[in-house]
């Protein structure tokens, strides 16, 4: 804990942060410019970076599956041995590649192929190596695809399971998403995919059919800009044909769906990140109520903006995520109660807020900060009161045989502060 690490995400973006905690499902980092630690699942992190962090912090890597090893070499080149000023020895271990020259050793490690002369090696030994460590992610995925040959939702589910088993969870999740598109024609993605398939069947030439099939594959991979470019080329090629209008309609429909889908995801993530940051803020007992309130009012939205940009890979030319949040269209009306902290918002003079903060349970503190965040970041439609859930609106507790005592939750106010918001 406390180590500074560089993390590369699937989007290609890199961030440097302080490692706060780690586990089987992901890591929690403190990023520069973000006041609260942020959780990232392993699925969001580049595979090579993820493997390095797992080995460093979890002390283990994905184990080889039975029968998933290949012949390999472990060698030490003579020229890579140096004992001054500190001992340094290069050990290369990887998959054995064939060579027509018997005096040559060829070793594959990831995307690199090492070539050595036997006479230049100080050490050489045959070994069995895990395929997942010597093949690139693309090569492993390609092998699975060639073996399974997915054609439907069941096939992509099988691909996803195999990829997860060999430690490629990010690519496995992508395969599961493809299966979901094929399985659910009621979803917008499923309907658009069926429209592409219908368009392909209507094409009269094999060349155009092949291009639309490529568009279908890219659509499953969610490479939507590439899909649109392919359809534009096809549309120009069939200009004057009745199908040209159908191609143009499909291009507009895909573009509108993609933009809308991305905006909806940004809005959902914005709301989710607010909750996550608040829970992270109260997870420890350090920090005063005044500091937490100041963070909600001054830093919360900036922290959320930075994280949403990071997770969606926003570039300078993209819409501002804060604008997407402010312009969101939300039909659902939600309700939130300040709970035991209501008196601080109504009659702050009824007690010592800082003492209450120190003694309050984490969920109670979350409820109070979430109320502040709702007033700051959401659209409050109505602010009112409801009976205190502890005393039932009486303002006092009446244990058997006593005169009653002021309710410690509402401080005698009899009510809790409630917000209805979008």
Which residues, at least 6 apart from 111, have a Cβ–Cβ distance to it below 8 Å?
A: 136
Helix (H) or strand (E) holding 196: helix 188-202
Q: How far is CA 200 from the centre of its chain?
A: 34
Tokens found for residue 192:
């658009």
H-helix segments, 283-339: 289-298, 300-312, 321-326
Its pTM stands at 0.46
Neighbouring C-alpha atoms within 13 Å toward the C-beta of 327:
8
Question: How much is the pLDDT for 61?
Answer: 43
Q: Name the residue ranges covered by the structural domains of the chain.
A: 4-58, 69-134, 267-421
Give tens-digit pLDDT for 208-234: 888 888 888 888 877 888 888 999 988
Tokens found for residue 74:
């472990």
Q: How far is CA 8 from the centre of its chain?
A: 12
User: Cα(150)–Cα(168) distance, rounded to whole angstroms?
Assistant: 17
Phi/psi-derived region of residue 69, left when phi > 0, alpha when psi is between -120 and 50, beta in every other case: beta
As beta bridge partners, residue 71 has 128
As beta bridge partners, residue 309 has none
Four-point Cα dihedral 76, 78, 84, 88, nearest 10: -10
Give tens-digit pLDDT for 376-407: 888 888 888 889 888 888 888 766 555 668 88
Does residue 85 have a cis peptide bond before it, meaning omega lies within 30 degrees of 0?
Answer: yes
**Per-block average pLDDT, block size 10, for the chain (422 residues)?**
76 78 77 73 78 72 54 87 74 88 88 88 88 76 83 82 71 76 78 87 87 86 84 86 87 79 71 82 77 90 84 71 70 81 90 90 88 88 87 76 74 89 80
- CB 199 within 8 Å of CB 243: yes
Question: How much is the pLDDT for 62?
Answer: 44
Which residues, at least 6 apart from 25, have a Cβ–Cβ distance to it below 8 Å?
A: 41, 42
State how beta strands 405-406 and 396-397 pair: antiparallel
Question: How much is the pLDDT for 368?
Answer: 92
Taking alpha carbons only, the member of 165, 201, 158, 209 closest to residue 182 is 158
- CB 401 within 8 Å of CB 322: no
Q: What is the CATH number assigned to the segment(s) 4-58? A: 2.30.30
Taking alpha carbons only, the member of 79, 109, 104 closest to residue 93 is 109
In three-state secondary structure terms, 203 is coil
State how beta strands 380-387 and 92-97 pair: unpaired
Helix (H) or strand (E) holding 185: none
Q: How far is CA 159 from the centre of its chain?
A: 21
């Amino acid at each position: 804990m406390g180590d500074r690490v560089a993390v590369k995400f699937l989007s290609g973006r890199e961030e440097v942060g302080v490692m706060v905690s780690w586990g089987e499902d992901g890591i929690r980092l403190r990023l520069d410019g973000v006041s609260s630690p942020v959780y990232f699942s392993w699925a969001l992190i580049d595979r090579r970076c993820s493997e390095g962090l797992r080995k460093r912090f979890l002390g283990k890597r994905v184990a080889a599956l039975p029968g998933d090893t290949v012949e390999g070499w472990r060698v030490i080149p003579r020229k890579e041995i140096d004992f001054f000023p500190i001992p340094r020895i290069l050990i290369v271990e990887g998959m054995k590649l064939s060579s027509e020259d018997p005096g040559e050793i060829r070793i594959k490690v990831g995307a690199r192929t090492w070539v050595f002369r036997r006479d230049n090696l100080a050490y050489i030994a045959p070994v069995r190596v895990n395929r997942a460590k010597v093949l690139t992610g693309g090569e492993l995925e390609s092998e699975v695809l060639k073996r399974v040959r997915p054609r439907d939702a069941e096939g992509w589910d099988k691909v996803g399971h195999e990829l997860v088993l060999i430690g490629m969870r990010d690519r496995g999740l992508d395969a599961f998403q493809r299966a979901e598109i094929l399985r659910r024609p009621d979803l917008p993605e499923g309907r658009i995919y069926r429209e592409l398939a219908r368009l392909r069947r209507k094409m009269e030439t094999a060349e155009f059919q092949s291009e639309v099939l490529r568009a279908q594959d890219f659509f499953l991979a969610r490479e939507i800009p590439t899909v649109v470019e392919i359809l534009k080329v096809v549309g120009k090629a069939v200009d004057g044909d009745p199908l040209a209008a159908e191609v143009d309609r499909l291009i507009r429909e895909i573009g509108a769906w993609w933009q809308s889908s991305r905006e909806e995801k940004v809005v959902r993530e914005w709301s989710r990140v607010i909750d996550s940051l608040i829970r992270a803020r109260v997870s420890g007992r350090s920090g005063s109520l005044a500091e937490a309130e100041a963070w909600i009012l001054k830093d919360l939205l900036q922290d959320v903006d930075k994280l949403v940009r990071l997770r969606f890979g926003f570039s300078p030319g993209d819409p501002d995520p804060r604008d997407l949040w402010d312009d969101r269209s939300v039909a659902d009306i939600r309700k939130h109660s300040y709970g035991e902290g209501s008196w601080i918002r109504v009659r702050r003079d009824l007690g010592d807020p800082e003492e209450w903060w120190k003694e309050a349970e984490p969920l109670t503190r979350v409820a109070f900060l979430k109320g502040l965040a709702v007033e700051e970041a959401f659209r409050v439609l109505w602010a009112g009161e409801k009976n205190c859930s502890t005393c039932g609106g009486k303002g006092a507790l009446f244990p058997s045989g006593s005169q009653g005592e002021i309710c410690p939750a509402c401080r005698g106010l009899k009510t809790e502060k409630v917000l209805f918001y979008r």
